[in-house]
Chain A
Amino acid sequence: MFDNFDFDVIRRSLGYLFIDGMTFTLTLTVLGALGGLIFGTLLALMRLSGMKLLGRFAGLYVDLMRSLPLVLVIFWFYFLVPYIGQWLTGSSRPIRVGAFASCLITFILFEAAYFSEIMRAGIQSISRGQPAAAQALGLTYRQTMRYVVLPQAFRNMLPVLLTQTIVLFQDTSLVYVLSIPDFLGAASKVAQRDGRLVEMYLFAAAVYFTISCFASYGVRRLQARIAIVR
């Protein structure tokens, strides 16, 4: 079964896989998570703001994103972003957007919907006395959120946010549908060039598995530590 395995193909392509592919994947994951968290928190604040129109808009956005498959959303933005760019810059034709920028915008906007639901749960888990006390101290709404509510919500939800980031890390592999060389895309390129599908896909699977395993182990440790403090 493993007789005609060529492990050398993995060794030969390690540089391409990790320096090009994994860097793309990890950068996309980290920036996507940060951007998604910021935009998601804004969405959550909009929903909890008590302003009907804002809340309705944020709710619609979140529901729309959550009911569409990521693959479709990736296609949407891949074609839409050049037109949005044209509209924003006022140029006469759709602007060229790089693969990375297009993917990053997609993931930020898509993951924001999921992060906003997590942050909303986090904000709602803060006891009412906290914002009330902040208000009694004379803090403005902005200060209450900035110094009292959001830090606690963020802290409480940290394990969930990190778990969602691991999901995001796995989901970045879907940029494969645009033939972009992320880690899986790079592995698949080498696999098809050298006719070594079995070795490359098994290797890619092993790498994703190891990283996700360690990451979720770390999240579990963190969760245990936070649980003691609270």
Chain B
Amino acid sequence: MNYHWNWHIFFEPAPNGSGTYLDMLLSGLVLTIKTALAAWIIALVLGSIVGVMRTLPSRIASAIGFCYVEFFRNMPLLVQLFLWFFVLPELLPRAVGLWMKQLPNAPFYTAAIGIGLFMSVRVAEQLRAGIGSLPRGQRMAGTALGLTTLQVYRYVLLPMAFRIIMPPLTSEFLSTIKNTSVAITIGLIELTGEARAMQEFSFQVFEAFTGATVLYLLINVVVVVAMRFIERTVAVPGYITGK
């Protein structure tokens, strides 16, 4: 191989004036984490609402939930981001469209919302499965006690369902982190983007991507360890995930 390895490249100053190449990758890491967290909050909130809607006795509510899930599940994330970033501002009234295009950090907001919506479908499906896995008697007992539908969900179904779906939610959160890299296409310079920039500036392709790979592995390990702890704390005794 006549590839010229140079591992010291990480400590050499980057031409964009933000410090060393390592600083560049780390700032990408921070942006990846920020985007992932913002997207995850959106995904959790919307996903919980839609997931609950799909289990409601009301036909209309579950039909709306079904359409929502089908809409966001059947398009590639990349296409969805393009729709939000390039198409939406054109379809809205001029003033609103212009405001959206001129927003500082527009790629960040678009990525957070776009990935959030994309992942909310996964959360919704997990929650629906979680609620569906509870014995029918739980809902019936709640109703028999005179609880309203809202109370049945608030006090009986959701506390159990969320604890049961904790492990799959962990992997959905990991997917959210990984999916932030798709936002490179709308100009969000997160970890993968910074690695790509470093490769273009320094021509040290493999060092740049190795750096990014190590950082991604690091986030994964941290998330998995943290979530194991949470999973163990909230596991329901007597269920598969519990003791």
Contacts and interface: CB of A to CB of B under 8 A. Distances in A.
Interface of A: 1, 64, 67-72, 75-76, 79-80, 83, 86-87, 92-93, 170-171, 173-174, 176-177, 184, 188, 197-198, 201-202, 204-205, 208-209, 212-213, 216
Contact of A173 (B78, B199, B217): B78
A75 to B, nearest CB: 6
B79 A184 contact: yes
Contacts of B90: 197-198
B87 A69 contact: no
Contact of A69 (B71, B80, B192): B192
A80 B206 contact: yes
A205 B185 contact: no
B12 interface: no
Interface string B64-96: 000000110111111110110011001100000
B3 A76 contact: no
B195 interface: yes
Contacts of A67: 174, 178, 216-217, 220
7 contacts: A64-B217, A69-B177, A69-B180, A69-B192, A70-B181, A72-B213, A72-B216
Contacts of B199: 75, 79
B196 A75 contact: yes
Contacts of A72: 181, 192, 195, 209, 212-213, 216
A184 B74 CA distance: 15
B119 to A, nearest CB: 14
A184 B1 contact: no
A42 B194 CA distance: 35
Contacts of B75: 170, 205, 208-209, 212
Given A170-B75, A177-B184, 5 more contacts: A67-B220, A72-B181, A80-B206, A198-B86, A202-B83
Given A68-B213, A71-B184, A83-B3, A216 B174 contact: no
